[in-house]
């Protein structure tokens, strides 16, 4: 089975808090030379974001998320995702060059305040995944994945064992605890930008299929009460849908109601023959999730949620180092 036969069956879920074409999120997804890559970007706007007449009066953050996506497309087409150690450094350099060029072209001499006294021009988070099919020595098909990120946009893996966060937020507190981070919202310590050197973190994995891989900006998961609820949102909308398009619309409708920010999720599916097969595969997991990790009442106390989180996070955090 080739990678081309395992492409996503759900489109990007995308919403803008301020109105059409005003959102500071962006995304990209494509397949080049048997490598499937996809990513999400959240321009770090804030109240001090400068607007540019030559960019239709959009903010630098709006520009940054779009320029970063273009940089990833250029990298995939030219330098290529090679799954080597230096890929993260080369990709960060490409994004930096594109952002600096955008800054120069827009005559940008000021920045956007991010994380206390830290000020950056053209700031954006980034979360990018590159995936390629490999066959191991036992002739078993594996999905070779590289995960790259800067900031608090995240990548997840979802299978019958549950949802796992792959990336570790670049924030000044609770980076290891997704539950507490929902309550304290740590400040960003590392984002792609046009001024200073930044880091693209990288984690690699060889994954057995089937798998769902998700990239999300913080608007996609940050308005739920717990990571368990995020998994339930994904699986419940899937189980209630009859087609990928219905799943897409259902997810979008729920997020539109609860999110107080732009949100972007890319959901890529690998190793499932069809939508019904995938629903059946996850049926036992959603039953387990409701039975073991979700509160029994609609308005649980913080102590009840924390107790459930302590059990749930064992699997959820298994990739976090």
Q: Give first-to-last CA distance, the chain, whole Å.
A: 32
Q: What is the pLDDT of residue 275?
A: 93
Helix 227-240 × helix 302-316 angle, to 10°: 80
Q: What pLDDT is recorded for position 46?
A: 60
Element (H, E) at 156: strand 154-159
The architecture of the domain spanning 3-316 is 4-Layer Sandwich (3.60)
Whole-number pLDDT of residue 164: 98
Over the chain (321 residues), what is each successive 10-residue block's mean pLDDT? 48 83 92 95 72 80 96 98 97 97 74 48 95 83 95 97 97 89 88 94 95 96 96 97 94 94 94 92 98 89 95 95 78
Tell how many helices (H) and how many strands (E) occur in the chain: 8, 14
Tokens found for residue 28: 């990209």
**What is the predicted pLDDT for the residue at 111?**
46
Rounded CA separation 148/145 (Å)? 10
Q: What's the confidence (pLDDT) of residue 55?
A: 78
């Amino acid at each position: 089975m080739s990678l081309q036969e395992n492409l996503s069956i759900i489109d990007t879920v995308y919403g803008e808090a301020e109105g059409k074409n005003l959102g500071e999120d962006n995304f990209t997804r494509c397949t080049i030379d048997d490598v499937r890559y996809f990513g999400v970007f959240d321009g770090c706007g804030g109240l001090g974001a400068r607007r540019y007449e030559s960019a239709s009066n959009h903010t630098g953050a709006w520009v940054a998320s779009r320029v970063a996506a273009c940089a990833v497309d250029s990298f995939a087409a030219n330098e290529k995702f090679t799954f080597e150690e230096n890929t993260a450094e080369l990709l960060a350099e490409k994004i930096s060059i594109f952002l600096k060029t955008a800054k120069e072209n827009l005559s940008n001499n000021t920045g956007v305040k991010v994380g206390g006294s830290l000020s950056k021009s053209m700031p954006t988070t980034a979360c990018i995944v590159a995936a390629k099919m490999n066959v191991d020595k036992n002739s078993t098909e594996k999905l070779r994945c590289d995960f790259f990120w800067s900031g608090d946009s995240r990548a997840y893996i979802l299978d019958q064992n549950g949802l796992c966060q792959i990336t570790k937020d670049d924030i000044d507190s609770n980076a290891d605890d997704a539950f507490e981070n929902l309550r304290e919202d740590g400040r960003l310590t590392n984002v792609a930008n046009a001024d200073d050197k930044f880091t693209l973190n990288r984690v690699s994995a060889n994954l057995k299929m089937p798998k769902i891989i998700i990239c999300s900006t913080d608007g996609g998961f940050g308005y739920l009460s717990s990571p368990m609820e995020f998994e339930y949102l994904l699986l419940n909308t899937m189980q209630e849908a009859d087609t990928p398009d219905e799943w897409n619309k259902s997810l979008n409708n729920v997020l539109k109601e609860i999110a107080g920010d732009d949100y972007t999720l890319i959901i890529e599916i690998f190793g499932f023959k069809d939508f019904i097969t995938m629903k059946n595969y996850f049926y036992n997991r959603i039953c387990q999730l409701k039975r073991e990790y979700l509160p029994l009442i609609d308005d649980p106390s913080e102590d009840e949620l924390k107790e459930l989180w302590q059990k749930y996070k064992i699997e959820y955090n298994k990739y976090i180092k």
